[in-house]
Amino acid sequence: MFELRTDYLEDLTPEMAISVLKDVREAAGAEVPVIVTCRDGREGGAIDYPETLRIAVLLAALGAGAQFVDVEYANFVKPDVRHKIEVQLAWNATCRLVLSAHDFNGTFDDLDRLYREIRAAHPQAVPKLVYTARHINDCFAALDLLHGCEGDAIVLCMGEAGLISRLLARKLGGLVTFASLDEASGTAPGQVTIGQFKDLYRHDSIDAETELFGVIADPVGHSLSPVIHNACFAEQLMNRLYLPLLVQGGRDELFAFLDGLQARPWLAFRGFSITIPHKHSLLEYVRTQGGNVEPLAEQIGAANTLILGSPATSHESQPAAYNTDYAGALDAITAAMGITRDGFCDMSIAVVGAGGVSRALVAGFTDAGAQVTIYNRTVERAEQLAADFGCAHAGLDALASLDARLVVNCTSIGMHPDVDHSPVPQEVLKPDMAVFDTVYNPAETLLLKQARAAGAQTIDGIAMFVNQAMAQFHLFTGAPGNPTLMRQVVLDSLR
Ligand code: NAP
């Protein structure tokens, strides 16, 4: 289906609209439906054409056999507009009216009442209600309406926070959702491209039964999790979809979002990757729900995976939280070094950084009996982490005399665009060391380049990223993911 936005055409006339409609038909095939729209400037129209011209264009499109014409409900209720449209519709029985309402500033005062008014005004019309989500929690009203309404309807939320309403329209039976042809040609805030819809968000394979997963974060746009999980769902022909879920705010907003999802079992959200800034609040949420927190996640004080119950984990009726970061990192290291986790026992390990990832790795290393020293810019943070897990600590300057079997970078030093820096002085890197960098963009950081040049064994952050995603995929589905595909997808995305 195409939407022909005639309000974007300069020097518009009804004849021009018919001519472009004809061109679209010839290019796309007569069987491809076309919605003809000439949007009022007050509701987002590109060029603010007068009402007489806009209505003349729509009447001409109706007469030329457009399958749909979109009229703003606020204009349709004017008796003269309504009369003209209804007379022309009577002559073109195959054309359907779309009665639309838009709010570019926020939510409608009463979405359900507006929907009922539009239905009552012209029962054969397709109601189209589009408002702006300032927060993802604003989308629930749109999802509820689409889920509950009978007959064709279009209900969408604009803005980045409204993305799920666009991506889930098909699952919930919405007549259409809107995509742009490319990044530059969007006609409303928050639209994704047709390519992303089809390739990344698996639009053609979504139906009412599709189970949902997603990454909860703020910001979320940079996350590679949707590409890798959706690639694996597609490869295994699973009726599952993984979404970016922008949850802004803190604990209260996260709790409201998760409560909202749990109150709507028909959405079929089953599992989540959780990252900045919600990793700590997740534990509290799961505890308040009487759910299970994996013991090491409890010790780390953060979880990155939430399961709400799926075929893979049907024994869990309550939410469950896990931390796959530490296991992902440890498995990447043990696989590369050819050891089991027992091999960490008494190993001297230098961990650079004292943030969230560092905490997860230090918990894993000390759990396996390693001798860990934590180096950090803010020495007090290193001291606190060292005290929690019984390790040694020092400032970054002490790295000048570093001597360890395994060196791990858990800082963002070396991450794009800071690619010319390394947290570890080149001189201390030796052939008998293994060096692991959690940074995965770029895949080979300066630290890893210099370690390789020194003859040390190197392990990149993509290995950790893929491993933690593999562990999540297993928790989500009960099936193994494809690490080769995941790694390739990450490399392609970084390129
Ligand atoms: P975090 O909690 O914000 O901690 C950041 C750490 O980096 C702190 O120790 C901080 O030191 C240090 N740091 C930041 N900028 C620095 C600078 N300019 N000079 C010296 N130290 C600096 O972040 P996180 O969640 O632990 O993430 C750390 C890194 O892990 C990320 O940058 C990311 O590349 C990587 N990561 C990888 C994966 C994966 O799957 N491969 C997953 C998640 C994260 P202070 O305490 O002094 O501020």
- Smallest Cα–Cα separation from 301: which of 311, 315, 317, 287? 287
- Residue spans of the domains in the chain: they are 214-323, 336-459
**H and E: helices and strands count for the chain:** 18, 18
| Atom 44 (ligand 1) nearest CA | 357
Q: What is the pLDDT of residue 55?
A: 98
Catalytic site positions: 102, 128, 279, 325
Q: What is the CATH number of domain 214-323?
A: 3.40.50.10860
Q: Which atom of ligand 1 is nearest to the CA of 423?
A: 20
- Smallest Cα–Cα separation from 408: which of 421, 399, 417, 400? 399
| Atom 3 (ligand 1) nearest CA | 355
Token representation of residue 117: 């008014």
| Atom 48 (ligand 1) nearest CA | 378
**CB of 409 closer than 6 angstroms to any ligand 1 atom:** no
Q: What is the pLDDT of residue 276?
A: 84
Q: What is the pLDDT of residue 296?
A: 84
Count of C-beta atoms within a 10 Å radius of residue 288: 10
Q: What is the pLDDT of residue 190?
A: 80
| Cα-to-centroid distance, 304 and ligand 1 (Å) | 16
Q: Are 345 and 370 in contact (CB under 8 A)?
A: yes
| Atom 7 (ligand 1) nearest CA | 411
Same CATH topology for 214-323 and 336-459?
Answer: yes
Q: What is the pLDDT of residue 318?
A: 85
**pLDDT, tens digit, 9 for 90 and up, residues 123-180:** 999 999 999 999 999 999 999 999 999 999 999 999 999 999 999 999 999 999 999 9
| Cα-to-centroid distance, 306 and ligand 1 (Å) | 23
- Rounded to 5°, angle at Cα 349 from 348 and 352: 150
Q: Which atom of ligand 1 is nearest to the CA of 377?
A: 47
**pLDDT, tens digit, 9 for 90 and up, residues 386-406:** 999 999 999 999 999 999 999
- What's the pTM value of the predicted model, to 2 decimals? 0.90
**CB of 438 closer than 6 angstroms to any ligand 1 atom:** yes
**pLDDT, tens digit, 9 for 90 and up, residues 25-76:** 999 998 999 999 999 999 999 999 999 999 999 999 999 999 999 999 999 9
Q: What is the pLDDT of residue 68?
A: 97
Q: What is the pLDDT of residue 315?
A: 47
Q: Are 132 and 158 in contact (CB under 8 A)?
A: yes
Q: Which atom of ligand 1 is nearest to the CA of 354?
A: 9
- 18-44: burial string, b at 16+ Cβ within 10 Å, e else: bebbeebbeeeeeeeebbbbbbbeebb
| Cα-to-centroid distance, 354 and ligand 1 (Å) | 8
**CB of 442 closer than 6 angstroms to any ligand 1 atom:** no
| Cα-to-centroid distance, 409 and ligand 1 (Å) | 8
Distance from the Cα of residue 268 to its chain's centroid: 16
Q: Which atom of ligand 1 is nearest to the CA of 352?
A: 9
Calculate the alpha carbon distances from 272 to 28, 261, 465 in Å: 39, 12, 15
**CB of 464 closer than 6 angstroms to any ligand 1 atom:** yes
Ligand 1 probe mutation, 411, 445, 464, 473, most atoms within 8 A of CB: 411
| Cα-to-centroid distance, 335 and ligand 1 (Å) | 23
Ligand 1 probe mutation, 276, 326, 410, 466, most atoms within 8 A of CB: 410
- 335-345: burial string, b at 16+ Cβ within 10 Å, e else: eebeeebeebe
Q: What is the pLDDT of residue 314?
A: 47
Q: What is the CATH number of domain 336-459?
A: 3.40.50.720
Residue 386 neighbours by CB under 8 Å, 6+ apart: 372, 374, 392, 393
Q: What is the pLDDT of residue 322?
A: 95
Q: What is the pLDDT of residue 280?
A: 85
List, for the chain, all residue ranges whose pLDDT scores fall below the cut of 70: 309-317
